[in-house]
A and B are shown apart, each in its own frame.
Chain A
Amino acid sequence: MNTVRSDHRRSHRLIREYLGPLLGATALILWFVAVNDAVFSKMGAFGLVSVLGWPYFAGLTLVVIAFAFEVMRTPLRPVWLIVLIVILAIFIYGTASAVDPVAAPTDSWIHAGFIQYIVQHGQVLNGYDARFSWPGGFSMAAMLVAFAGQANAIGFLHWFPLFIELSYLAPLLVIARFSGVRRRAGWLGIAIYYSTNWILQDYFSPQAENYLLFLVAVACVLACWQPKRRERDGPALRFWREQVAKVRSVVTLKRLKGRDSASAWNSATILAVLALLAIIFLASSMSHQLTPYALVLALSALLLTRRLGRPELIVLLAVFAFGWLSLGASNFWVGHLSMIFGSAGQFTSTLSSNVTSRVAGSSSHLLVVEIRILLTGALLLLAGVGFLRRSASSRALEALAGAPFLLVAAQSYGGEGLLRVVLFGLPFTSLLAASAILPLQSGEIRSLLPRIPIGRFARAGRVVLTMAIVGVVLIFALATTVVRGGNDAYESFSSGELAAVNYVYDHVRPGQSIGSANYYLPIGQRGVGTINAFSPASTSHYQGIGVRILHNRPTYVILSQSEDAYGEVVAGYPVGWEAKLETTLVNHGYSIVAQWTTATVLKASK
């Protein structure tokens, strides 16, 4: 009898020790099988998910089960949790890089072109592109290119999304540790972040690099300052009166001076942190248009919720950001100031340009867009439950999740403002969502919902929680797999398309121009300032594109598979529209000079 019990204990111990790592390793093997079996050329209208077989989904399920098992284990094993989160990130952010033969999207190639210009000329090209008015990120990348002995930045593009997402892990761990959620909820929040980041701002770009700076700055502040315990004086107030008193305390001079928070660190360490933050602020102000303002809002939220002790930081960042806008970026705004301030306060048009205009295209594209909206809505709903269920010492997370919404009130950001709002709030929304499942039970601020009594069902409750974690993370991860790769039918490129672009760059002369049916080509990496790239604005009929190309008459025109897919999936053009466009161009003085299975190059006759 004792032997049976001892065997049972031993097997139970072995499962506890090795189940998580074993499942994680199996998941990683399945990922290699999945990306090896995926055939890029068979990609359909649903994008990446259309070429992924069962090993991908089996592997994703296994890594989520392994993570849920590890996060509910006592004691927690941080090393294995980090390993499992890294594997989860490889699934979500590494698959496209492994399957696509060429880096995507178009903007990453354009950024490589900007960097190439700085490498060659040692300065930016004024008046060429708005992004050149915030050149910090490009300059840093140019320095990295020279330092690494590379000829250009193209080698950095392909695996950049996975690299930068993994570099977010360090500040995310600090944010989770010091944000005032349960330790397990912190780990779960990080997994939810990696399972829900569909925003696609992690390609090779200044915004991806600035998002890292944003996370590092918030992590530093959360780690450095803790809220002081509120001192109660006078008799206890009724519930609503107490709430009003709390709201009034948010805008007292004492709070605004940072006196409601305290740091356990010594003066030298705090000064080092302040110096680091000042450098981060300066770098961010010079390298991205939006991130410094998002960070000003985040720091203000932290000050008002007693998590920032030095209000000077907010003023410093605001002064740097507006100073650079006024002095360094004047090339951008001189003559069209309305681009910056024109959309201030216009909620309806901002919402329209951010959401309504994006819900268009073929049925497959509409489904992808609708899943994106549902995914974001589900996450916000879960975060709302987390807000109601959790006790806390401060409402910093809620304020950090809500603060970015003020950005949309000021700027539509070319129809992308709402995406950025979701992105800047995502780490905090994810931690709140994790608190819906694993809420903190103690704290100065009591939870708004009563605690669920578990009593003698604690063991069963643990199983239910583990299953809930598996369900939530797996559903989010599957949805993100679908929607992140949902644009890949036209945003990812074949080797033939890159060969066509390189062919044109090898033959085009300074002053000549390169045309395409739309924006979706791996183009822009060479000839910045000497060769013009022309793609007509989207029209309701594809014939309009031919008219505009013939009107502008670029020397070379590249027609490709990705351009064709964009026309069919998003613009609603009929199947075979690009072949008809090619015929039109050939009938009007263009001739085919080179051809690949996925791309054709046409040249205008003299």
Chain B
Amino acid sequence: MTFIIFADAAALTAPVVFVVLLGVVTLLIVRALGEVLRVPLTPFVSRMLDGSIVTVLLVFIVLVVVRFKIIG
């Protein structure tokens, strides 16, 4: 079994922030593509997409703040 060893919490936050950043960007691209190409989404799916963007964005903000707090 392979383990990834992080030196400390500060080192751990960087890849986590990066992965969440990629998550937000991917969701934003999906939303923009859907709107521009007029992909017919049900109101439920639209709400879920918007909700997930807001949620992941909030996680991103929290992680950035935590990173500032830990190593700033």
Binding site for B on A (CB under 8 A): 267, 270-271, 274, 310, 312-313, 315-316, 319, 322-323, 325-327, 330, 333-335, 337
In chain B, what residue has the closest Cβ to A314? B28
Besides A271-B36, A315-B53, A333-B68, 17 other CB < 8 A contacts? A267-B37, A267-B38, A274-B32, A316-B25, A316-B28, A319-B24, A319-B60, A323-B17, A323-B60, A325-B64, A326-B17, A326-B68, A327-B14, A330-B14, A330-B67, A335-B72, A337-B72
In chain A, what residue has the closest Cβ to B28? A312
CA gap between A267 and B39 in the complex, in Å: 11
Q: Find out whether the CB atom of A327 lies under 8 angstroms from the CB atom of B18.
A: yes
The contact sample of 7 A-B pairs, CB cut-off 8 A, is A271-B37, A315-B28, A319-B25, A323-B21, A326-B64, A327-B18, A335-B72
Q: Find out whether the CB atom of A310 lies under 8 angstroms from the CB atom of B32.
A: yes
- Whether A315 contacts B57 in the complex (CB less than 8 A), given A323-B17, A323-B18, A330-B71, comes out as yes
- Whether A312 contacts B31 in the complex (CB less than 8 A), given A271-B36, A319-B24, comes out as yes
Q: Find out whether the CB atom of A334 lies under 8 angstroms from the CB atom of B72.
A: yes
Q: Find out whether the CB atom of B71 lies under 8 angstroms from the CB atom of A327.
A: no
In chain B, what residue has the closest Cβ to A322? B64
Choose one: A271, A315, A334, A337; the contact of B33 (CB below 8 Å). A271
For residue B60, which residues in chain A have a CB less than 8 angstroms away from its CB?
319, 322-323
Q: Find out whether the CB atom of B68 lies under 8 angstroms from the CB atom of A270.
A: no
Binding site for A on B (CB under 8 A): 14, 17-18, 21, 24-25, 28-29, 31-33, 35-38, 53, 57, 60-61, 64, 67-68, 71-72
CA gap between A261 and B60 in the complex, in Å: 29
CA gap between A323 and B57 in the complex, in Å: 11
Q: Find out whether the CB atom of A334 lies under 8 angstroms from the CB atom of B57.
A: no
CA gap between A330 and B71 in the complex, in Å: 9
For the complex formed, measure the closest distance between the CB of B13 and the CB atoms of chain A, giving whole angstroms.
Answer: 8
For residue B21, which residues in chain A have a CB less than 8 angstroms away from its CB?
319, 323
For residue A330, which residues in chain B have a CB less than 8 angstroms away from its CB?
14, 67, 71
Q: Find out whether the CB atom of B36 lies under 8 angstroms from the CB atom of A270.
A: yes
Q: Find out whether the CB atom of B25 lies under 8 angstroms from the CB atom of A327.
A: no
CA gap between A330 and B72 in the complex, in Å: 8
For the complex formed, measure the closest distance between the CB of B6 and the CB atoms of chain A, giving whole angstroms.
Answer: 15
For the complex formed, measure the closest distance between the CB of A93 and the CB atoms of chain B, giving whole angstroms.
Answer: 38
For residue B35, which residues in chain A have a CB less than 8 angstroms away from its CB?
310
For residue B32, which residues in chain A have a CB less than 8 angstroms away from its CB?
274, 310, 312-313
For residue A335, which residues in chain B have a CB less than 8 angstroms away from its CB?
72
CA gap between A325 and B71 in the complex, in Å: 13
For residue B33, which residues in chain A have a CB less than 8 angstroms away from its CB?
271
Choose one: A267, A327, A333; the contact of B36 (CB below 8 Å). A267
For residue B18, which residues in chain A have a CB less than 8 angstroms away from its CB?
323, 327
For residue B31, which residues in chain A have a CB less than 8 angstroms away from its CB?
312
For residue A270, which residues in chain B have a CB less than 8 angstroms away from its CB?
36
For residue A327, which residues in chain B have a CB less than 8 angstroms away from its CB?
14, 17-18
In chain B, what residue has the closest Cβ to A316? B28
